Amino acid sequence: MRKSIRDAILAETNAAKGILDVVTKEERDLTDVEREKIDAHMKKAEELTGNAAREEAFRKQMSDLSGGLGLGEQDTQEIPPPKAAGKGSTKGMSAGEMFTQSAEYKTLLGSVPNGSFGEKYRVQSSPMHIGSMKTLLTSGNHTTSGGITIETDNRGLLSPFYERPLSVRGLFASGSTTSDTIDYVRMINTVNNAAVVPEATTTAPIGGGATTVTGGVKPESGFDFQRDSTTVKTIAHWMPITKRALADVAQIRTMIDSFLRYGLEEEFEDQLLTGSGTGENFLGLNNTPGIQTQTAAGAEDAMDVARKARTKVQIGGRATPTAYVMNPLDWQEIELMRNVNGDFYGGGPFQLTAPRLWGLPVVQSEAVAPKTAWCAAWNWGVIYDREQATVTATDSHADFFVRNLVAILAEMRAAFAILRPSAFVKITLP
């Protein structure tokens, strides 16, 4: 490669590295302007590299045809052209695939020589949008670390056997916010005094010769509201990984899909149902004031108490119930219930249908404690997404820089509010 081209490529890469060094020294994230400048420098370097490769290929071809023109060893070094980034649609791609195909990830790889991380290179990526482990992931041949995932096709190698089904979030209404605090109105009570009113028969003032009946006075109705507010909470966790393993695309995809993103959603589901509301915890449904309760009386069984809870949602909450939520063990007991003749109340083992009870779907969740269930008009609870799951990579954590380690951080921000507590009935199963 000609010295002038090498110098031009080096100038572009040094300019990009200079921006990264400043950001690293100041211990902050890249700004949009800085990120654009880095992208521009790296794009120019790639163009120069590609041009040089084509020129050197042409020189080599001419040299071969002419029997060699005495080109020096330094002049005949070829630079492989950069790989073109894919331009396909992200439809149907997993969160990890979108991460590894994102412009930010490609910029991260493009910022280092030959797309590999040297021992003294700093790593700092911008947030990549997608969806707690303490084990360090490496790319070595280990049966207890990341090496086990390095195969020709690793789909299914890390089956998410440890993951429970997450289904509660989809029951609530969804919203979004751009603020850290949300003010809302919680409905406490309704007063409906609507009645048939006779026509007035006198113009005298009420109490001064006229009654509410003869004066045609209309009754007053109203609502009892309570003004409340909730703050946006952050759920996050991270895991360490070696720089060598960071270059393994399949491993990153598996890690993000199977560990980080799922962990956020599992904790969020627990908080929605059982959050204490203290500190940085969400105020979960179980601790929200004003919810109704239903317990068994006498010889009532689980189906009896569940039916009464449904009625409470309708009458006490003035709402239309949409689903039951209960622990899988409790639903198992209900499905196994039999009459005095030994016949199943439900369809039995040979009629597997979608779980339903008293006309409503039954959602099973391990976040609900055994012997506890819920019947509710779930749309009266609202989830406000402030920032959906993001993933950020950096080696600025602790002493990771000198140990060639990178921290992968996943976090999300959201708020939660119950607008009509009486529309939710907590059931204590017998």
| Residue owning tokens 């976090």 | 411
Q: Give the separation between CA 17 and CA 40, rounded to whole angstroms.
A: 12
Give the tens place of pLDDT for each residue, 14-34: 888 888 888 788 777 778 788
List the single range of 71-75, 234-238, 309-313, 331-335 with lowest mean pLDDT: 71-75
Is the pLDDT reported for residue 165 higher than 90? no
Note whether 414 and 275 are within 8 A (CB): no
Burial class of residue 133, CB neighbours in 10 A (0-12, 13-18, 19+): middle
Is the pLDDT reported for residue 352 higher than 50? yes
Residues 50-57: contacts with CB under 8 Å, at least 24 apart: 50/81, 50/82, 51/5, 52/1, 52/2, 52/5, 52/6, 52/9, 52/79, 53/78, 53/79, 53/80, 53/81, 54/81, 55/2, 55/5, 56/1
Note whether 368 and 325 are within 8 A (CB): yes
pLDDT score recorded for residue 251: 64
Is the pLDDT reported for residue 70 higher than 50? no
CA of residue 238 relative to chain centroid, distance: 14
Is the pLDDT reported for residue 64 higher than 80? no
Q: What percent of the chain has pLDDT over 70?
A: 70
Compute the average pLDDT of residues 118-133.
Answer: 54
Is the pLDDT reported for residue 303 higher than 90? yes
Give the tens place of pLDDT for each residue, 361-403: 999 999 999 999 999 999 999 999 998 888 888 888 888 888 8
**Where does the pLDDT of residue 325 fall: very low under 50, low under 70, confident under 90, or very high at 90 and above?**
very high
Q: Tokens for 211, please give them.
A: 């009654």
Q: Give the separation between CA 365 and CA 379, rounded to whole angstroms.
A: 18
Note whether 292 and 316 are within 8 A (CB): yes
pLDDT score recorded for residue 16: 82
When mean pLDDT is compared over 78-87, 111-120, 330-339, the highest value belongs to 330-339
Compute the average pLDDT of residues 119-126.
Answer: 58
pLDDT score recorded for residue 167: 85
Q: Give the separation between CA 413 and CA 105, rounded to whole angstroms.
A: 23
Nearest by Cα to 376 from 172, 193, 235? 172
pTM greater than the 0.75 cutoff: no
Higher pLDDT, 110 or 125: 110
When mean pLDDT is compared over 89-93, 150-154, 294-298, the highest value belongs to 294-298
Q: CA dihedral defined by 270, 272, 273, 279, rounded to 10 degrees? A: 80
DSSP of 197-225: -PPP---SPBTTTB-TTTTTPPPP-EEEE
Is the pLDDT reported for residue 72 higher than 50? no
- Provide the 8-state DSSP code for 137: B
Q: For 125, what's the count of Cα atoms within 13 Å in the CB-facing half-sphere?
A: 27
For residue 403, give every residue at least 6 positions away whose Cβ sits within 8 Å of its Cβ, in sequence order, or none.
Answer: none
Nearest by Cα to 368 from 337, 331, 336? 331
Note whether 282 and 275 are within 8 A (CB): yes
pLDDT score recorded for residue 376: 97
Ranges of each domain in the chain: 1-83
| Residue owning tokens 């990579």 | 393
pLDDT score recorded for residue 153: 43
